[in-house]
């Protein structure tokens, strides 16, 4: 309970600071960079070497790509059925296919499963959510925004220079090598800033404004993201995996991460590309509050 109270305090602090005008967009960008370039690599270097390398670690890597495929097909089908504009379709692809698996996912996994579940959430986020956003997300933007053409060279370069991706490669290479105590303490201290920083940042991006014409797309996007997509992953994997693996922490955290609300970064990318900006912002804000009800239900179902 204490973890949830702290998360709520940091979240409300970010929203209040934004409302009062105490922080500018440049401050949000700097905090985002601090989280991605400093805090997240520290957590990766600290937690990933603790994992035992086996084929089970492929689960949090494969599932987000499977969810992405299912979400893409469903959104394109629904958009065709309702004759939605390219802007709305592109926006929904961005907010439905990519979950808030780090900024919101890490605090939620820590709150429900403790620090033991965090390494699996990190793998899901870096090798699943971010990797797919860097590659497929930019393809969506190129197709639906009519802006710059997608470049594989630029996408791969962005991936290879992404600090968390570099950190996860280093962490796997290190294996079970013991860090010097001073380095371990330093990484731990930096890592402790991750949850308050991410929750404050998410709070700064909250928006609940929505026009009537966007209500149906919003409802469909959140129903898919918070319920149907993780349920599809759960049902498909339940028929394929052994009982032992289905009862494991890695399975529970993987499905839980699949149930996260829309990703802040993907929403910001959609807004910058002018893909229904108000809808993109509302999906993040309303999705966050709705997930406060759905995530405990997912935890109850999985555990």
| The pLDDT value given to residue 232 | 95
Per cent of the chain over pLDDT 70 is: 97
Is a pLDDT exceeding 60 seen at residue 1? Answer: no
- Under DSSP, is residue 147 helix (H, G, I), strand (E, B) or coil? coil
> Within its chain, how far is the Cα of 119 from the centroid?
14
Angle (deg, nearest 10), helices 138-145 and 86-97: 170
Which region among 139-148, 183-192, 227-236 has the lowest average model confidence (pLDDT)? 139-148
| The pLDDT value given to residue 90 | 95
Res. 96 pLDDT band, cuts 50 70 90: very high
Is a pLDDT exceeding 90 seen at residue 55? Answer: no
Is a pLDDT exceeding 60 seen at residue 26? Answer: yes
Query: Contact, 195 vs 35, CB < 8 A?
Result: no
Helix (H), strand (E) counts: the chain: 19, 0
| The pLDDT value given to residue 149 | 67
Query: Contact, 48 vs 179, CB < 8 A?
Result: no
- Please count the structural domains in the chain: 1
- Under DSSP, is residue 275 helix (H, G, I), strand (E, B) or coil? coil
E-only strand ranges, the chain = none
Q: Residue 86 is part of which domain span?
A: 2-302
Q: Give the burial class of 88: count Cβ atoms within 10 A of its Cβ; 0-12 exposed, 13-18 middle, 19 or more buried.
A: buried
Indicate if the alpha-carbon torsion angle 72, 283, 292, 34 is positive or negative.
positive
Which region among 136-145, 231-240, 241-250, 290-299 has the lowest average model confidence (pLDDT)? 241-250
| CB contact set of 216 (below 8 Å; sequence gap of 6+) | 82
CATH code, domain with 150: 1.20.1530
| The pLDDT value given to residue 60 | 94
| The pLDDT value given to residue 229 | 97
- Could you tell me which residue, 96 or 156, shows the higher pLDDT? 96
For the chain, what is the mean pLDDT? 88
Per cent of the chain over pLDDT 90 is: 46
Residues 69-96, mean pLDDT to the nearest whole number: 96
Residues 1-26, mean pLDDT to the nearest whole number: 78
Q: What is the pLDDT of residues 193-251, one digit of tens each?
A: 888 888 888 888 777 888 899 999 999 999 999 999 999 999 989 877 877 788 899 99
Res. 5 pLDDT band, cuts 50 70 90: confident
| The pLDDT value given to residue 66 | 95
């Amino acid at each position: 309970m204490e973890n949830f109270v702290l998360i709520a305090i940091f979240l409300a602090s970010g929203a209040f600071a934004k409302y009062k005008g105490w922080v500018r967009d440049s401050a949000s960008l700097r905090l985002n960079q601090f989280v991605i370039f400093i805090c997240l690599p520290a957590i990766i270097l600290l937690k990933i070497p603790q994992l035992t390398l086996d084929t089970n670690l492929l689960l949090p890597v494969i599932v987000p790509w499977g969810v992405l495929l299912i979400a893409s097909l469903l959104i394109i089908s629904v958009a065709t059925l309702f004759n939605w504009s390219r802007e709305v379709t592109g926006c929904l692809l961005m907010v439905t296919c990519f979950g808030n698996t780090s900024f919101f996912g890490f605090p939620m996994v820590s709150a429900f499963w403790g620090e033991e579940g965090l390494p699996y959430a990190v793998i899901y986020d870096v090798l699943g959510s971010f990797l797919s956003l860097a590659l497929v997300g930019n393809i969506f933007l190129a197709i639906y925004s009519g802006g710059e053409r997608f470049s594989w060279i630029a996408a791969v370069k962005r991936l290879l220079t992404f600090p968390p991706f570099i950190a996860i490669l280093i962490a796997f290479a290190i294996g079970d090598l013991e860090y010097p105590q001073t380095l371990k303490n330093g990484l731990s201290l930096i890592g402790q800033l991750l949850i308050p920083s991410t929750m404050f940042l998410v709070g700064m991006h909250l928006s609940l404004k929505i026009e009537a014409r966007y209500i149906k797309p919003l409802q469909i996007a959140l129903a898919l993201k918070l319920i149907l997509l993780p349920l599809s992953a759960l049902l498909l994997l339940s028929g394929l995996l052994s009982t032992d693996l289905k009862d494991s922490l890695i399975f529970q955290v993987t499905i839980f991460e699949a149930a996260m609300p829309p990703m802040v970064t993907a929403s910001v990318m959609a807004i910058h590309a002018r893909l229904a900006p108000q809808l993109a912002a509302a999906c993040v804000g309303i999705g966050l509050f709705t997930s406060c009800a759905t995530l405990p239900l997912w935890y109850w179902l999985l555990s």
